[in-house]
Structure 1
Amino acid sequence: MEITHSIFDFIPTQKTIVTIGTFDGVHIGHQKIIEKLVHEAKSSGKKSVLLTFFPHPRMVLQKDVTIKLINTIDERAQHLEKLGLDYLIIHPFSKEFSRLTALEFVRDVLVNQLNISKLIIGYDHHFGKNREGNIEQLTEYSHLYDFTVEEIPAQDIDEVAVSSTKIRRALANGHLKTANDYLGYNFSLTGKVVNGKQLGGKIGFPTANIDVAESYKLIPKTGVYVVKSVIENVTIYGMMNIGNRPTVDGEHQTIEVHFFDFNQNLYDKELTIELLYFLRDEQKFDSVPDLISQLQKDKQTSLNYLKNN
Structure 2
Amino acid sequence: METVHSIFDFTPTHETYVTIGTFDGVHIGHQKIVKDLVKQAHDNNKKSALLTFFPHPRMVLQKEASIELINTIDERKKLLEATGLDYLIIHPFSKEFSRLTALDFVRDILVNQLNVSKLIIGYDHHFGKNREGNIEQLTEYSHIYNFEVQEIPAQDIDTVAVSSTKIRRALKEGALKTANNYLGYHFTIKGKVVDGKKIGHTIGFPTANIEVKEDYKLIPKAGVYVVKSSIDSKTFYGMMNIGNRPTLNGSHQTIEVNYFDFSEDLYNQTIEIELLYFLREEEKFNSLEALADQLKRDKLASLEFINNNM
Which TM-score band applies after superposition, normalised by the shorter structure? over 0.9
Q: CA deviation at 1:158?
A: 3.7
Q: CA deviation at 1:42?
A: 0.9
Distance 1:16 1:83 in 2: 16
Mapped contact 2:160–2:166 kept (Cα < 8 A): no
Mapped contact 1:28–1:183 kept (Cα < 8 A): yes
**Offset from partner CA, 1:37-73 (integer Å, 9 cap, x none):** 0000111111000000001111111114411110000
Distance 1:263 1:161 in 2: 40
Distance 2:255 2:112 in 1: 47
Q: CA deviation at 1:125?
A: 0.8
Say yes or no: does 1:182 pair with 2:163. Answer: no
Which position in structure 2 is the counterpart of 1:262? Answer: 262
Distance 2:277 2:115 in 1: 45
**Offset from partner CA, 1:156-177 (integer Å, 9 cap, x none):** 3345643111111111111101
Which position in structure 2 is the counterpart of 1:59? Answer: 59
Mapped contact 1:29–1:160 kept (Cα < 8 A): no
**Offset from partner CA, 1:214-263 (integer Å, 9 cap, x none):** 00100000000000000000011000000111112323110000000000
Which position in structure 2 is the counterpart of 1:91? Answer: 91
**Offset from partner CA, 1:99-156 (integer Å, 9 cap, x none):** 0000000000000000010000122111111111111100000000000000111123
Please state whether the residue corresponding to 1:247 is helix, strand or coil.
Answer: helix
The normalised TM-score by structure 1 is: 0.98
Mapped contact 1:58–1:64 kept (Cα < 8 A): no
Mapped contact 1:4–1:10 kept (Cα < 8 A): yes
Which position in structure 1 is the counterpart of 2:139? Answer: 139
Structure 1, unaligned runs of 5 or more? none
Mapped contact 1:226–1:279 kept (Cα < 8 A): yes
Q: Which shows bigger deviation, 219-228 or 63-72?
A: 63-72
Distance 1:216 1:39 in 2: 33
Cα RMSD (Å): 0.9
AA of the residue aligned to 1:38:
V
Please state whether the residue corresponding to 1:88 is helix, strand or coil.
Answer: strand
Distance 1:64 1:31 in 2: 31
Say yes or no: does 1:297 pair with 2:297. Answer: yes
Please state whether the residue corresponding to 1:180 is helix, strand or coil.
Answer: helix
AA of the residue aligned to 2:213:
A
AA of the residue aligned to 2:168:
R
Distance 1:75 1:114 in 2: 24
Mapped contact 1:227–1:240 kept (Cα < 8 A): yes
Percent of residue pairs identical: 73
Which position in structure 1 is the counterpart of 2:252? Answer: 252
Please state whether the residue corresponding to 2:264 is helix, strand or coil.
Answer: coil
Residues 59-208 of structure 1: pairs in structure 2 closer than 5 A: 59-159=59-159, 161-208=161-208
Mapped contact 1:285–1:291 kept (Cα < 8 A): yes
Q: CA deviation at 1:287?
A: 1.2
Mapped contact 2:193–2:209 kept (Cα < 8 A): yes
The normalised TM-score by structure 2 is: 0.98
Please state whether the residue corresponding to 2:241 is helix, strand or coil.
Answer: strand
Which position in structure 1 is the counterpart of 2:21? Answer: 21
Distance 1:68 1:285 in 2: 30
Give the paired residue count. 309
Mapped contact 1:65–1:216 kept (Cα < 8 A): no
Which position in structure 2 is the counterpart of 1:237? Answer: 237
Mapped contact 1:24–1:164 kept (Cα < 8 A): yes
Distance 2:161 2:230 in 1: 31
Residues 264-279 of structure 1: pairs in structure 2 closer than 5 A: 264-279=264-279
